[in-house]
Amino acid sequence: MMMRLVTATWILLMVLFSGRAEAYPWMIEHQYTTCSQCHVDPSGGSAMTAYGRAQTEALLRSPYGQDMSEPGKVKDFAFGLFKVPDAVIAQADVRSLLIPQPGNFRYQIMQADLRGGVQTEKFVAYASAGVVSAGGRGARILSEQGKDNEFLIPVLRDYWVGFVPKNGWLIRAGRINLPFGIRTDQHLLFTRTATRTTTNTDQQLGLSASVETRHWRAELMGIAGNPAVSPDSFRERGYSGFFAYAVDKGAEVGVSSLVASSKTDIITLVPSTRQVHGVFARYSPFKSFGLLAEADMMLFNEGVDTRESRAGVAIDLQADYEVTRGVHLKGGGEFCDTDFGTDGASRRGWGAVQWFFAPHVSARFDALVGPLYCTPGAVGRPMALATFQAFL
């Protein structure tokens, strides 16, 4: 029991609440309802733009009495030690996992990625490539390559090219993060794993069109399948998209929709069409406090007789309060049930403290109760976590 608890704690430590300097949806507290200002991906996540790097210093880090309105070279790639042309996007991220299991002590590289591209007024190209020693199966270049911990396994998480036909628009093709719900650095939230829309391994090949105006943003993507999944019968085809409207500078509401079919579902191993339709909201009633909420309804038509179906739901509610510049108190509750016909609902609650204490670096401490995944019959156990995040 204790060994399983320790192992699960460390998995959650480096996976559930680790980030890649990406997708902080609680930036609504600073009246940011759009994502393209700070990220190359217009729906959030991916490497940051020069403006996004500046805001991590000006808005997120503890200033220690300094004026951070002009952060200087420390915001830049490699802290400004190397000059990067204005059109070039460059970033490096590392995420590792230490499992102190008695008799089987091991260290795993969960992510060691170089992320970069070129961004001009009319053209954008982007890619994220790296290695892992375990995990990341949905992004592995060779899906059946070796066993975990034998050697470093190459991964390609996302890569795409796009053009900007007019201001606020982006048309792109490649392996892209699925546009759905609230994009966040917490990859194992039930609303992300149960809907298969994480930014860790769930990217898909496809064609995407996104648009952003002063009051609303939207993206629609045609899904052509994940090349890291084989054989082809396991690959999903369909669409995913969202529409979000900013009621004011501190409030946004949105809807999401996803329909995807495969000849062999990667979990149930039968023909499947799954639908996920949901709503989400971000709200900041006053400065330094933000609420995030998402609810997704899931419908699965499975087997040769597609009349056989099951339904489920995933719900997430979070709060973030910045008690002083750079220090955040967080809390949340989650509910997930992938089949209303069973008694297999999963519940999880958590609280956290996060401190952006140095350039490009933060530490986070969590206490939580609940299962790792939305799994029928899973028993939740209390865990205490500590996380270190950094990017170059």
pLDDT at 248: 87
Non-local (6+) Cβ contacts of 231 within 8 A are none
Number of alpha carbons in the 13 Å side-chain half-sphere of residue 34: 16
Query: Where do we find the tokens 């995420």?
Result: 95
Q: What residue type is assigned to position 132 of the chain?
A: V
In angstroms, the CA 188 to CA 370 distance is 12
Q: In 3D, which of 330, 137, 123, 339 has the Cα closest to residue 230? A: 137
In angstroms, the CA 338 to CA 139 distance is 24
Q: What pLDDT digit, counting tens, does each position of 319-356 carry? A: 999 999 999 999 999 999 988 867 678 899 999 999 99
In angstroms, the CA 37 to CA 49 distance is 7
Percent of the chain with pLDDT over 70: 86
- Here the CATH number for the domain that contains residue 319 is 2.40.160.10
Which structural domain range is residue 212 located in?
2-390
pLDDT at 97: 61
Q: Number of structural domains, the chain?
A: 1
In angstroms, the CA 252 to CA 34 distance is 10
Q: What pLDDT digit, counting tens, does each position of 2-17 carry? A: 444 444 443 343 334 3
pLDDT at 33: 75
> Quick one: tokens of 9?
């704690």
Which residues of the chain are modeled with pLDDT < 70? Answer: 1-23, 96-107, 142-150, 304-308, 341, 343, 385
pLDDT at 336: 93
In angstroms, the CA 170 to CA 131 distance is 29
Query: Where do we find the tokens 């190359």?
Result: 40
pLDDT at 8: 42
